[in-house]
Amino acid sequence: MTSSRSRAPVVLGLVPACAGLVALACVTSVLWSGPTERPVALAFGVLVALGELTRRAGTEVRETAPLGAAGALAYALLGNVAGQSVHHGVAQTVTVVLAASLLGTVPYVAHGRGPVLDHLARRVLTVAFAAVCFRPLSNQGFFQDWSGPAYALLLIGLLALTTLCDAVFAAAPVHARTGWPFGPLLREELRGRVGITSAVCATGVVMALAVAVAGLWALPVFCVPLLLTQLSYRRYAAVRATYRQTIASLARATEIAGYTPAGHARRVAELSGAVGRDLGLSGAELIVLEYAALMHDIGQLSLVDPVPAGATAGLPVTEQRRIALLGGAVVRQTGVDAAVAVVVERQADPCREQPVAARIVRAVNAYEEKARDAGPGGDLTALEELRLATADDYAPDVVEALARVLSRGSLTASAAG
């Protein structure tokens, strides 16, 4: 595991380093030979810069600048402008996109709303990939006789490969930083691109095809749908953030009332999420897991006498189930997804009868309680207790996933948290 940690900084720096080398080579080439078809480059540069200026900052959004991404891809896959062939190369494509992206990020850097290095690195590499696949053949007239559905399918196919490339660039640093399995991370990145990224790719194709027929005036026309989509997505993200804050506030009710220690629900939720990712849960499953972990102790509010330190893992099974069922009933009253209530209700059931999320919450909650009560060095003691318990108490695969998460040090669930 030590060797994995030592390799992490190398892998994390690999994507920015590659992007820097590609950008340096492309900018040098353009400065040496000079740009071609400057009006076209300027129009697409303005579009990309506008997309960056209207981008959404945040880690939960995979494509923060959809308009900029669509414009960059359209410029990479542009074959004609109003029936006239264009011949800008890979170097000019990358240089224009990089310069426009840097210009658009100036206000964010000035207000301390960066960093933007990872964002720019991925933009450079994905645009370079698309341009390398298309521009040399297009400039040689290879696609001159392609038209109609065949040409559109070609562009869509290239964008699908570019999306896969971008997903790899996104998943690799996360894998290096956290040690989570690469396959599930890549699948989750691809799932996350079904929504806004599909709109980005479709808009990029439509822009390239429309400019080929109608000229550069087609660009502002096709910007509007994506801007509206981006606005709707922003509102959805804001509603989701408010929803999560409401759940987190509700989960703190047990802490405020003195039933559980401060920060217990948050620690269980964070560690449960890490275990869920290690086991390859999807994004939707991870959301249910997070909400259930935050609210797993809500049933304790029904108790007349609080359990010491909120440690329900040591209670009789019948009492654990009663608290879990009461907690599920409270969750249902809040209007939260019924799947969350099911996890809360079944966290005290026999392990083999539980859904995966309930198994995770049960094991992580027990670990957190045992580690807290054991004092210094309690982490190892608590983990060993879970391993020695029967399979009916804690799922062995969940316990081993928990051990892997703890050994990587990606999260710590110490009582001091």
Q: Which domain CATH number covers 374? A: 1.10.3210.10
pLDDT tier, 311 (very low <50, low <70, confident <90, very high otherwise): low
Which residue in 153, 183, 93 sits closest to 129, CA to CA?
93
Rounded distance between C-alpha atoms, residue 162 and residue 201, angstroms: 9
**pLDDT tops 60 at residue 29:** yes
Determine the average pLDDT of the residues in 314-319: 76
**pLDDT tops 90 at residue 93:** yes
Determine the average pLDDT of the residues in 55-68: 60
**pLDDT tops 50 at residue 60:** no
328 with 194, same domain: the answer is: no
pLDDT, tens digit, 9 for 90 and up, residues 161-172: 888 888 888 887
151 with 237, same domain: the answer is: yes
pLDDT, tens digit, 9 for 90 and up, residues 265-294: 888 888 998 888 888 887 788 888 988 888
Which residue in 182, 178, 176, 181 sits closest to 8, CA to CA?
176
Rounded distance between C-alpha atoms, residue 342 and residue 344, angstroms: 5
Which residue in 61, 50, 56 sits closest to 197, CA to CA?
61
pLDDT at 389: 76
pLDDT at 11: 56
233 with 278, same domain: the answer is: no
Where a domain ends, among 222, 241, 260? 241
Bridge partners, residue 411, by sequence: none
Most trustworthy range by pLDDT among 8-22, 32-46, 112-126, 340-354 = 32-46
145 with 262, same domain: the answer is: no
11 with 134, same domain: the answer is: yes
pLDDT tier, 416 (very low <50, low <70, confident <90, very high otherwise): very low
Where a domain ends, among 182, 211, 241? 241
Rounded distance between C-alpha atoms, residue 141 and residue 121, angstroms: 30
pLDDT tier, 3 (very low <50, low <70, confident <90, very high otherwise): very low
In a domain, 77, yes or no: yes
pLDDT tier, 412 (very low <50, low <70, confident <90, very high otherwise): very low
Show Cβ contacts of residue 44 under 8 Å, excluding neighbours closer than 6 positions. Answer: 71, 72, 74, 75, 78, 96, 100, 219
In a domain, 416, yes or no: no
**pLDDT tops 90 at residue 26:** yes
In a domain, 305, yes or no: yes
49 with 193, same domain: the answer is: yes
174 with 75, same domain: the answer is: yes
Q: How many CA atoms lie within 13 A of 165 on its CB side?
A: 20
206 with 260, same domain: the answer is: no
pLDDT tier, 410 (very low <50, low <70, confident <90, very high otherwise): very low
| Angle between the N-to-C axes of helices 66-76 and 218-251, in degrees from 0 to 180, rounded to the nearest 10 | 140
pLDDT at 64: 61
Rounded distance between C-alpha atoms, residue 85 and residue 76, angstroms: 14
Number of domains within the chain: 2
Domain span holding position 16: 2-241
Where a domain ends, among 241, 271, 288? 241
Determine the average pLDDT of the residues in 22-30: 92
- Look at the pTM and tell me if it is higher than 0.85: no
**pLDDT tops 70 at residue 325:** yes
Determine the average pLDDT of the residues in 181-209: 77
pLDDT tier, 24 (very low <50, low <70, confident <90, very high otherwise): very high
76 with 220, same domain: the answer is: yes
In a domain, 413, yes or no: no
In a domain, 23, yes or no: yes
In a domain, 247, yes or no: no
259 with 172, same domain: the answer is: no
Distances (CA, A) of 314 to 311, 320, 366, 395, 400: 6, 9, 9, 17, 21
305 with 389, same domain: the answer is: yes
In a domain, 276, yes or no: yes
In a domain, 107, yes or no: yes
395 with 258, same domain: the answer is: yes
